[in-house]
Every structure is written in structure tokens, then in C-alpha cells.
Chain A
Amino acid sequence: MEKIVKNEARRDFLKVSGTVAGGLALGFYLPQSRQAQAADGGSPNAWVRIGGDNSVTIMCARSEMGQDVYTSMPMLVAEELEVDLNRVNVEFAPPAEVYINSLLGGQLTGGSTAVRDGWEKLRKAGASARMMLVAAAADNWGVDASQCTVSDGVISGPGGKKATYGSVAAKAAGMEVPKEVPLKPASQFKYVGNVKQKRLDTAAKVRGTAGFGVDTRIPGMKYAAVAMAPMMGGKLISYNDSRAKNFPGVHAVVQYSRGVAVVADDWWTAKKAVATLDPRWDGGPNANLDMTGLWAGIEEASNKPGAVFRESGDANQGLANAAKMITATYRLPFQSHSPMEPQNSVADVRADKAVIITPTQFQQLIPHVVAGATGLTPEQVEVQTTFLGGGFGRRVEVDYAIDAAEISKAAGVPVKMVWSREDDMTHDSYRPAGMYKFTAGVDAKGKLQALKFHSTSPSISSRLFPSIVKDGIDPFAVEGIDNFPYMADAGMSFSYQMHDTGVQVGYWRGVSHNLNAVALEAFIDELAVNAGVDPIQYRIDMLDMGSTKHQWSGLSAGVPVGARMKRVLEETKKITKFGKKMPAGKGQGVAVMEGYNSVVAIVAEVTVSSTYDVSLDKVTAVVDGGTLVHPDQALAQIQSCINMGQGVALYSEITVKNGIVEQNNFDGYRVARMNETPEIDVHFIKSDSVPGGLGEPATAVVQPAIANAIFAACGKRVRTLPMTPEHIAAA
């Protein structure tokens, strides 16, 4: 693990890389407070703590933002630990090396990696802990461990001997860590794959007792509301606190890096006082930024050659030889994360230590950036992770934790800083906008012979993880097409042109799958229509059955996708009766993608009115996600992705005027609601392969499925998203 080094632009960090060899580092790190809590029991390793009262606590090292890690990850530990999953306590892990996500190289929740990273590691942690507990009991009894069995936290030995986990936990913590840790076969799974298993956090979430960041209360805490520059990159010039300071209940008015904050006895008082500050801003470099100029900039940049990230054969020659050339340009807008819980953080910054309690996807980074902002050392910064009221990638950013720390330090009290919805929506790190150009050469039958693809889009990683951006290619900008699954025998050439628009961009659920695959799968539909072939059959016929994952697809397992795609597409065709006659104004559209080592095909059915209002009637998804650890929540994730994809496909976009984001609440930024929710039908392919990631891919796939359905319904090929009535009419 390389240390994180801050540069002068305080919020940036230069590198987070390296992974923990082998994944399992038993007992590497436990904070003192945890050890004290466990004093009456023991911790065989960093994942498991057994109380003297036989209570079992399993550490959850990923952030629970709806995607079920709070259940699915402890499930993997409990499967091998042989304890009753429904009686374990689950605790969010503090930052520590042992909890690093091997697929991402940081203690970070994202990239649909939690279960994939934990699949072996957590089962081994559970098994190893069980073996140490058994070894301790066997040692007490003077028998061999092989003579002992375990059931639900009770060890049985020869002659009817019984010992609870709690009674041997302290001793177990000192036993030798086993080198060989065999795992039970799938046929013996009790929890993994159990369709009846419930979420462990539901009881709290239906009673209003689950602790989100914004619900945190600590002794002496005050509430902070803020005024931040409305223009991206703007700076505070002046403010007038003469009124705010005299508000009853106001404790302090403090300036911090991003603006000015009022600290008060309650948030409403702080917010009202903020409204009196009359802050003046220097608009900064983006003060004149608007969409016309921004798109002109993207257009101009798109004429540069960019960096080639995938190439075979001779695409130019192939195009020259083709019977017909088909070109298309897709334009996708910025999008906001807008989780339901606005950004917030509790910070208690003292002279010699700081406590940060916050809803974060990236707890590992916080000690470093808070240290940088407060003058403390990372070791002096304690981080506690709460439940997250949605994440979607927004909380990979740590900006709000830094802000709260600065405000606490300046005000000299513990604070809970809470952003208004307007603060949140206008200070996001947005899903990038981009332009996606295709040139295809097809033969006389419409079969693809050669393909050129050129995307122009901002790079997220060049700000957040610059060390992974090499030779002009951000691996998180080429997803969803770097793994192009079709054949173009004469040649293909795919390139990426990085282009900074001035709008800060961030990882948004599905990341660049949401850009590249959306454009690609809509374009493939154009090719199928040109060929006059059923779009599912057209795809199946040109699948590259020999292809393996491309070098850039670092988050996938490297297995061939052609066969998986064929299976999923054939199943989709059967289930949806694709190609059936639809009534006037209705259409079906299909799309397929591999992402995060899952293969997802979606058929959307829409009704398009004479004024181009779109009703999304039904969505059918067929998913090969490998082994499903928690099947009901795998289903929930597909349902969730479809909803979010529907919103960005049909309703929402972020635009900028004079450097200011124009949408600041859910009136301007329209998301999918109950009355717009389609019938959703999800089918999983039975598989005993390793789990794929399911928290993101369907978000991308549903969008081109909708675009293709709109074309089928009304003959309009919409290449500018969102597919509003205006954009459809103009198509």
C-alpha cells in the first residue's frame, strides 16, 4: 500500500495503489477500543469478535449504501464460522490495512467489488477463526481438533464434551493461525444462495433507528450550515456576519476553504443565519461556462485523434472495402448522484485528535485528507462509518468530511455539517458528459466488417487516481466497450480523447459503462435495423465466441464472455417473445453488456405518445451474475439499477450556466417515481461460477434498451440523451 500524498490542491491525492498480497492478513490490525470491548472474549482475527457472553460480531469492511453488504458479507464469514447469521452483530470496520479491497487497492466501496473481493477472503476468515476456536477447545480437552465438531457456535468433543465459542475465544486469539484453510463445497452452503435469507438491517430501517450520517449526535455537538461558491471553482471574496452572529442560538460564523459556515444550536437556525451572510464570490475560471461553449469544446476535442485503447486488423482498410458505411454520434449529458441523504459529516477536531463520523465509501482516505486540513497526523484521526443514505459513487469523494473538519477546528466545537439539497446537487462530482462517434463498415448483408469508435469525455481518474491513467487512457473511461464482444473481422480501432470541460466529474453508478455501452448498444441496434435482422439474432450471430476480457477490464475475472452472452441473449429472446407484433405506438428494444464480470441483457417495452412522451411499460432483465450469494438482494440490485437507468435515460440531466449548475432540487432534476415504475421481470441464469458484481451493470444496459424500444415504437433514433419529448422530436 503506497501512502497517500496530498498535493497543493488540498482535495486531490496522488496515489492509492498496491494491494494486499493474498488478501488475508489475520489479526493485522485492531484498534485499541475494539480490543478493549473484546476483553471478555477474544478476536481470532480482524473479522470476528467473540464475546464472553457468546455474542458474535462480524466486521463489515464495506459501506452499506443499499447494496446489501451489511448482510451479504457477514453471510460469507458466518457460512464458515458456523454461527447463526441472524443472531450476529455487524459492525462497520474502521480504516485498516486488513480491510483493503484487493480489487481496488484501497478500503473503498465501489466498482461492484464487495462480494467479489470477499468471496474467498471472508469465507477463509470465517473458517480460519472457526479452526482457531476449535483448536483452543481441543487443546483444553487434550484431544485432536479433528475429533471435534461445530454447530452454531458450540464445539463438541469426544465423550460429550461441549464448549461455547465464548468460553474459548480468549484462548483462540492466541492460537496459531492455520496455514491451510479448506472451504466447504457449495452443496453444503447454509446461507450462500439461500433465497429465504433476509437482510440484517431491515428491522432497523423500518423503525427509523438505522444510524445514517445525518442522524449522528455526539456530546457538545453543534450544527453547521454552509454557503459555498455557486460557480464551480469560485472563491469567497467577502461576507457580512453582523446579522448572523446575533441570531439567538448561533455559536460561530467561520470561514473555511470552500466558503463560510454558521455553527448553531440547531440546523434550521444555522441555515437561516447563512441566508443573511450576503457572500460575494469570485466566479473563477468557469464563471462564463455554459452548455453551448461546453459542447463546442467537446466537439472540437473530438476532432483530435485521442489514444487507441483497442485495435485489431486494419479498420480503415475495412471501412474502405465495406459495401456500406454507417456513422452515428451520440451525446450524453452530465448527471448528478443525488442520494436521498444529502452530504454531511460530524467532525470533532481537537488539538491532538479528531473524530470523523460520516457516511463514506472511502474511509481509508479520510485520515489522510483530514490530517492535511487540520495539521494533525493521519494516526490522530479516527473515522467511524455510518449507514449511507445512498451512495452511487458520490461518497467516494471525501470533500464533505474535510469541510466538517475545517469547520469544527475553526469553531472549536464538535459539529455536524449538513448540506441542503441545493448545496448537494450543485456541488456534486457529476457523471461525465461525452460524445461518442461510430463509423461502421458493413457487407452487403449488413454484417459488421469494420468499426471505428471515438469517445470524447472528461477523465474522472485523472483527478482522483492519476497513477492509473496511462498514455492518455483512463481505464474508468473505456469500460463497456473495451470488452466489445462482437466480431469485426476486417478491423477495429477504438480511441478515447480525454477532455476537461471545467465541470468536476466523479464515479457514478456504472461509471463509463453508462456512457460507452449506452452508445454502443444503441448503435448496434442501428446496424441490426440496417441489416433487417432481429436485433437479438443480429447480436448472437456476430458474438466473438473466442474473445476474452481485454487488458483494460481490470475489474473483471478475465473469463470469455461470448458464450455467456449467447446464453443470456437466447434466454432473453425466449422469455420476452422478442420480435412479437406490438400495437401501434409500442415497441420493444434490447441491449446486452458484460460489466463487473456479470452479463446482463435487458428488453424494454415502451409506449410513445404522439407528442413523444414515453411510458416505460415493462423491463425484462436476464442476468448471468455467477453464484448469487444473496439471491433476493441480487434481484433488488437489478431492480434498483433499472430505476436509476430509467431516470437518466428519460428524464434528467445536469446543465451549467455562468458556471453554476442549473438544477438544484428534485423539481429541476427529475428522477423516476412510483407512477413511472415499469413492471420489472428479472431472470437469473443458474451458475456455479464465481460471483459477478451486480450493483451497477444493469444501470447502463437499460438505457440503450429504452432507446431501441423508442425507435421500434416511433421510428425516432434518439442520439442525444435524456430522451425527453424535445430530444425525440428533434431526432
Chain B
Amino acid sequence: MKVTFKVNGKSETVDVAADTPLLWVLRDTLGMTGTKFGCGKALCGACTVHLSGNAVRSCQVQIGSLNGADVTTIEGLGGNHKVQRAWEALDVPQCGYCQPGQMMSASALLASNKNPSDSDINAAMSGNICRCGTYPRIRAAIKAAAKMS
């Protein structure tokens, strides 16, 4: 089916099976590979994007439900988002594979909570797995980003 939706502010029309997860539309149809495949079952958070500003697992969102939707991916954070600046300042990534999903979760958290506590961070970030164990730096980077303008 044909679906027209916005990705990072730009209108895109794709013609794929309605049950195709947004993840694979982004990666394979649109060639935007910043959003990562990790588990396919909303267990790891690697594929996190924003749908109308909320963090969602794109492996669980079918494209057929997205006509007119507004999607933001890691590419749409712009490169100078405070989360990206904080991640860079603290050299958070190791292998880096989960980090786009981590940053999308973190940026959604900060959009709704200007000064998240440790338990707020746990609640928002525990769905994102990092096998390299960058969690201490992610926590510190979220706190650093919260202080940035």
C-alpha cells in the first residue's frame, strides 16, 4: 500500500506491504540506516524513533498505520542536539550500535522532563540495551544534556 508520512520534516511516500515495520521502511526502503535493528520484538530499543515526539520501537510500528504521521529518526536530531553534544563530550559510545536508539529515548525523555532524576532515567532508559555497558556514561550524558540549552 502507498503511505505518505513525514520523516524528519520531509514528506515521504512509500509503497510497501502494510504490515512492514517502520524500522525496515526506514532502513531498506528509504535507505536511512541510522535506526538500528536489534531484536525485532521491542526488547532492546535499538530501533527507537520518535512518533509525534514520543519514543517508540520502530520494529513494532506497522507502516500501514502511519499515513500522515510525523517521524523523527537519529538523522533528524540534526547533529547538534544537546543529547548528541553531551554524548560527544562524554565519549559515550563504544561499539555505538545501540546509541541512536539510546539517544532517541534520551531526547524524548528530556523533551518531557527537563531535569530527570536517576529513577526517571531508569524508567525511560531501561528498555534500551547496551551490550558494551555504556550505561554509566549514558546516565551522566543525560544529566549533562539536561543542563545544556
Given A643-B135, A644-B131, A667-B41, do A267 and B24 touch, yes or no (CB 8 Å)? yes
Contacts of A64 in B (CB 8 A): 95
Contact pattern, A 555-594, Cβ under 8 Å of B = 1, otherwise 0: 0000000000000000000000000000000000000000
Do residues B43 and A268 form an inter-chain contact, with CB atoms below 8 A?
A: no
Residue among B31, B38, B123 with the highest chain A CB neighbour number at 10 A: B38
Do residues B93 and A215 form an inter-chain contact, with CB atoms below 8 A?
A: no
Known: A208-B74, A675-B126, A680-B136. 10 other contacts (CB 8 A): A198-B88, A206-B88, A266-B16, A267-B24, A268-B20, A340-B44, A342-B38, A387-B95, A665-B40, A674-B125
Within 8 A of B (CB), among A658-672: 665-667, 671-672
Interface segment, one of A346-354, A512-520, A544-552, A634-642: A634-642
Do residues B84 and A639 form an inter-chain contact, with CB atoms below 8 A?
A: no
Say whether A214 faces chain B, with CB atoms less than 8 Å apart.
Answer: yes
Within 8 A of A (CB), among B90-130: 91-100, 103, 121-123, 125-130
> What is the total number of residues of chain B having a CB less than 8 Å from a CB of chain A?
59
Say whether A720 faces chain B, with CB atoms less than 8 Å apart.
Answer: no
Residue pairs across A and B with Cβ atoms less than 8 A apart, 22 shown, are A198-B88, A202-B88, A202-B91, A206-B92, A206-B96, A207-B79, A209-B34, A214-B36, A338-B131, A339-B131, A340-B36, A341-B38, A389-B36, A390-B95, A391-B95, A418-B37, A420-B40, A674-B126, A674-B128, A674-B139, A675-B123, A677-B139
Do residues A639 and B134 form an inter-chain contact, with CB atoms below 8 A?
A: yes
Say whether A477 faces chain B, with CB atoms less than 8 Å apart.
Answer: no
Say whether A673 faces chain B, with CB atoms less than 8 Å apart.
Answer: yes
Contact pattern, B 63-82, Cβ under 8 Å of A = 1, otherwise 0: 00000000001110101000
Residue of B nearest to A198 (CB): B91
Measured CA separation A639–B94 after assembly (Å): 11
Given A198-B91, A206-B87, A392-B131, do A340 and B137 touch, yes or no (CB 8 Å)? no
Contacts of A476 in B (CB 8 A): none
Given A198-B91, A206-B88, A339-B95, do A269 and B131 touch, yes or no (CB 8 Å)? no
Measured CA separation A211–B129 after assembly (Å): 20
Say whether B53 faces chain A, with CB atoms less than 8 Å apart.
Answer: no
Contacts of B135 in A (CB 8 A): 643, 672-674, 677
Say whether B56 faces chain A, with CB atoms less than 8 Å apart.
Answer: no
Measured CA separation A198–B91 after assembly (Å): 7
Do residues B95 and A421 form an inter-chain contact, with CB atoms below 8 A?
A: no
Within 8 A of B (CB), among A176-223: 198-199, 201-210, 212, 214-215, 217, 223
Nearest-Cβ distance from residue A508 to partner chain B, whole angstroms: 12
Measured CA separation A203–B87 after assembly (Å): 9
Say whether A632 faces chain B, with CB atoms less than 8 Å apart.
Answer: yes
Do residues A206 and B99 form an inter-chain contact, with CB atoms below 8 A?
A: yes
Measured CA separation A209–B99 after assembly (Å): 11
Do residues B93 and A266 form an inter-chain contact, with CB atoms below 8 A?
A: no
Do residues A266 and B24 form an inter-chain contact, with CB atoms below 8 A?
A: yes
Contact pattern, B 1-19, Cβ under 8 Å of A = 1, otherwise 0: 0000000000000001101
Do residues B29 and A390 form an inter-chain contact, with CB atoms below 8 A?
A: no
Do residues B40 and A202 form an inter-chain contact, with CB atoms below 8 A?
A: no
Measured CA separation A639–B130 after assembly (Å): 12
Do residues A639 and B133 form an inter-chain contact, with CB atoms below 8 A?
A: yes
Do residues B75 and A666 form an inter-chain contact, with CB atoms below 8 A?
A: no
Contacts of A672 in B (CB 8 A): 133, 135
Say whether B148 faces chain A, with CB atoms less than 8 Å apart.
Answer: no
Say whether A66 faces chain B, with CB atoms less than 8 Å apart.
Answer: yes
Say whether A253 faces chain B, with CB atoms less than 8 Å apart.
Answer: no
Do residues A421 and B33 form an inter-chain contact, with CB atoms below 8 A?
A: no
Contacts of A390 in B (CB 8 A): 95, 97, 131-132
Residue of B nearest to A645 (CB): B133
Do residues B88 and A212 form an inter-chain contact, with CB atoms below 8 A?
A: no
Say whether A511 faces chain B, with CB atoms less than 8 Å apart.
Answer: no
Do residues B97 and A212 form an inter-chain contact, with CB atoms below 8 A?
A: yes
Nearest-Cβ distance from residue B98 to partner chain A, whole angstroms: 5
Residue of A nearest to B33 (CB): A215
The 4 closest A-B pairs by CB, nearest first: A208-B34, A643-B133, A389-B97, A66-B94
Residue of A nearest to B75 (CB): A208
Contacts of A392 in B (CB 8 A): 131
Measured CA separation A201–B88 after assembly (Å): 10
Nearest-Cβ distance from residue A69 to partner chain B, whole angstroms: 11
A198, A208, A421, A671: the one within 8 Å of B35 (CB): A208
Say whether A459 faces chain B, with CB atoms less than 8 Å apart.
Answer: no
A65, A67, A248, A665: the one within 8 Å of B39 (CB): A665
Nearest-Cβ distance from residue B2 to partner chain A, whole angstroms: 14
Nearest-Cβ distance from residue B116 to partner chain A, whole angstroms: 12
